[in-house]
Structures are given as structure tokens and as C-alpha cells.
Amino acid sequence: MNTIRWGILGCGDVTEVKSGPGFQKARGSELVAVMRRNGDLAKDYAHRHHVPVWYDDAEDLIHDSNVDAVYIATPPSSHKEYALAAAKAKKPVYVEKPMAMSYAECCEMIEGCKQASVPLFVAYYRRAQPRFLKIKSLLEEGVLGEIRRMYVRYERPPLPEDFQGSRHWRTNPAIAGAGYFLIWVRI
């Protein structure tokens, strides 16, 4: 089995406990480089997580020959730009949710990766959580009858700390799009 050497763009909360350690622990996976616009914070993250290389410029990580695949964990406003740059560099793309700021941006990312013949994945890990698996089994078993339409929406009011520090991007529509968990599913 070949080892996939990952580079992370954006070293925020999600990479501290979920994906960063996951890339190090998964068989056939290795985290070899990280990028954060603030070089001191990138260096600190790399040191704490035993990552050999850090950058403060996304293009440098994307074009690092030791990086096989790029995980984009930045706020949604930069997902399209970084995904297209990684695709152009012929590197598979794994992007955090929400995938992009709009449906049109999602389509551009899909098309860009398709044209570059590289895979594009979105970090929708919640689909494997027990409550979602239960709903899936109820649907597959026909317990709920024929589903003709469904509307799903998760939301919560922002907390005071959501407007301060590193969490602020989540409540800024210009950066986050719709916020924490705005998801529409229509069937």
C-alpha cells in the first residue's frame, strides 16, 4: 500500500482534533505539510503535531513535491480558489464543508477537478454517525413509506464568542456563506 502524503491548508479548530491527528493515525496516510497565513501559528501547529514542513503561503504547499493530496480546511470563502489551484497542480482535493459559498462555486470546483482528472471529496463525515445511519436504514426499509419531499435544516443562534477571535469567520456571511450548519436537502 502506498502512503498518501497530505498537506493541510488552514490549521484551525477542525484540524486540531479531527483531521490533523486522523491523517497521522490512518494506515497509508501521513501529514507532511501544513499552511496557515500566519507563519508563527503554522510553525507552532507543525511543531505540536510533529509535521515536518510548514508554510504561510498556500501555493507553496500546493506545489510541494512531497505533498500528494491537499486537504482544504480554511473558511468557505477560499475553498474554490484553493481547490482549483490544487487540481491544476494535479493533486486530489479533500475540502471541508460547506464545500463552497454557492452552488455555482461547487460546480466550478467539480468541473475543475474533472478537467484535471483529480478526485474531489467533501468532508461529510456526519453521514456515518449513528443517528444518520438510523434514518438511512428507516428509509431503506420503507418504514416511513414513500418519501416524496423532505426538508432538513440545522440551525442555532450564534453565541457571543462566535463574534470574537478565531471563531468570528463562522458568523461573517462574506467568509462563511450561511454559517454553522445551514444545509438544505430536497428530495
pLDDT tens-place string over residues 79-101: 999 999 999 999 999 999 889 98
Put residue 57 in one of left, alpha, beta given phi > 0 → left and psi -120 to 50 → alpha: beta
Domain regions of the chain by residue span: 4-123, 130-176
State the DSSP code for 112: H
Say whether pLDDT at 184 is over 90: no
What percentage of the chain has pLDDT greater than the value 90? 59
Quick one: pLDDT at residue 147?
Answer: 85
Count the Cβ atoms, other than its own, within 10 Å of residue 121: 13
The angle subtended at Cα 21 by Cα 18 and Cα 25, nearest 5°, is 120
pTM of the prediction? 0.79
Give the model's confidence band at 49: pLDDT under 50 very low, under 70 low, under 90 confident, else very high: very high
Q: Tell me the per-residue pLDDT of 114-169, one tens digit each, with 9 for 90 and over.
A: 999 999 999 987 778 898 899 889 989 999 888 888 776 666 666 777 666 655 66
Quick one: pLDDT at residue 178?
Answer: 60
Q: Is the domain defined by 4-123 classed in CATH 3.40.50.720?
A: yes
In whole numbers, what is the pLDDT of the chain averaged over residues? 87
Q: Are 91 and 65 in contact (CB under 8 A)?
A: no
> Which residues, including other chains, have CB under 8 Å from residue 133's CB and lie 6 or more apart?
none
